[in-house]
Amino acid sequence: MGICCSSPAAGELHDEQGFPWMQDESFHQQLWTGAGASMHTKQGWKGANQDAMTVCQDFAGHKGHIFCGVFDGHGPLGRDVARHVRDALPMKLSSTLKLRSEEKDPSRDNLKLTTEEDPSSSNTDVDSFDKSDSTSSSDTSDENLLLSTWKDIFVKTFEEVDQDLRQHSGIDCICSGTTAVTVVRQGDHLIIANLGDSRAVLCSRDSKDRLIPVQLTIDLKPDLPSELARILNCKGRVFAMDDEPDVPRMWLPDQDAPGLAMARAFGDFCLKNHGLICTPEVYYRKLSEKDEFLVLATDGIWDVLTNREVVKIVSSTTDPSKAARQLIDRAVRAWRRKYPTSMVDDCAVVCLFLNRRAPSPEDSLRGGTSAEAVPFTGSFRKKVASGGGEAAEEGTTVWRALEGVARANSVIRLPRMGRVLSWRRRSSSLDEDEDDEHQD
């Protein structure tokens, strides 16, 4: 079951497949789901909003299981790609999980664990499948089986969705694509799959009960050593444009195009033979009582705010239903302050509160904005403002390749800009490491 929230004045419509979707008077509003998640997206200054997001409750028919995802489209048809993946990925993943559950003995279900102990006490920022800290060899064996199974499922599902895009007659994905960072929560188990440079960050507490960010994914940029090696081995090129020396991009062997700012994505088939892949990095995290909330966000947030700043903003929000919106509002102000000559990027955020109840009706009467959750598998759409007010309909395809491309995941075609084709490797360490050293 997917989740969308709408204002009381919104009308429910159905698309050609009969799926319900809610049309809001204002597209840019905070959304609060029954799963305890705050959702919000805001269009940047480049044209149509190419970011998308989803939260699904009771995922794959398992009560209490949750699927979350944010998707950052890029290219002329990036909006269509992001929304297609947003709808197709959880459906295909759910179908795969249900099929596996039917084929296996429920008593030996290796898609979930029944242990409630926390086998890990690590403070590292990225928890991956290679990690095997545990309290017993039995727990280690069970968790390794869980992780291996989930990894196989995610990789297979992502590849199937990518192949569906290749054969999609209505979306030209040659130079359009989307990133994806998705999370499945099963009780105290988190399984995270990341494709591209969106990010998942967990807010937890350290031994002194202080809130700390725990980055669960790695931004898969083209200049990461492992990504760069694969791209160069496939004859692709990586370099930054002269006016963006800190943004390495991926290019075709013989053309200064398309200029992709990530090393993995759905779509972008012009680069699939030159190092771009759709295989996600899959990570695992065992939750504990110290873990407070999870933030999934597109790079419009992470380009201007650090992990620590994001955790501080969300944790200081008194109304959890407004957390995603307040985070995006802060990011927009940071864009204007840090990059006044650049166009503000699209932003999409899902804040999943792990130990927090949803606002009650009494809370909304005191000033909260708790909207009713409804089943959702369709598309977020925005009404056309009467009188041509706020630009065009959100679904209108607007592509300005040469206007404000700085720091955006734009797919662009530019002439060679001089002989300096240098790129600078961005550090993959967390922004907070230096702060922690100073504190220590």
Residue 437 confidence (pLDDT): 45
Task: Name the residue among 232, 278, 277 with its Cα closest to residue 251.
Answer: 232
* CB neighbourhood size of 116 (10 A): 7
Contact 332, 42 (CB under 8 A): yes
- Look at residue 8 and tell me if it is in a domain: yes
128 inside domain? yes
CATH number, domain with residue 86: 3.60.40.10
**Inside any domain, residue 121:** yes
DSSP 8-state secondary structure symbol assigned to residue 264: B
The pLDDT score that the predictor gives to residue 33 is: 60
Total number of domains in the chain: 1
Residue 19 lies in a domain: yes
Specify if 239 maps to a domain: no
Q: How far apart are CA 53 and CA 296, in angstroms?
A: 9
- Please report whether residue 228 resides in a domain: no
Contacts of 60 (CB under 8 A, 6+ apart): 67, 93, 94, 97, 98, 101
238 lies in some domain: no
Domain that holds residue 383: 2-220+280-439
Instruction: Classify residue 276 as left (phi > 0), alpha (psi -120 to 50) or beta.
Output: beta
Residue 120 is assigned to a structural domain of this protein: yes
Q: What is the pTM of this model?
A: 0.73
Kindly give the parts of the chain with pLDDT less than 70.
Answer: 1-35, 104-140, 142, 356-440
pLDDT at 110: 56
At 106 the pLDDT is: 52
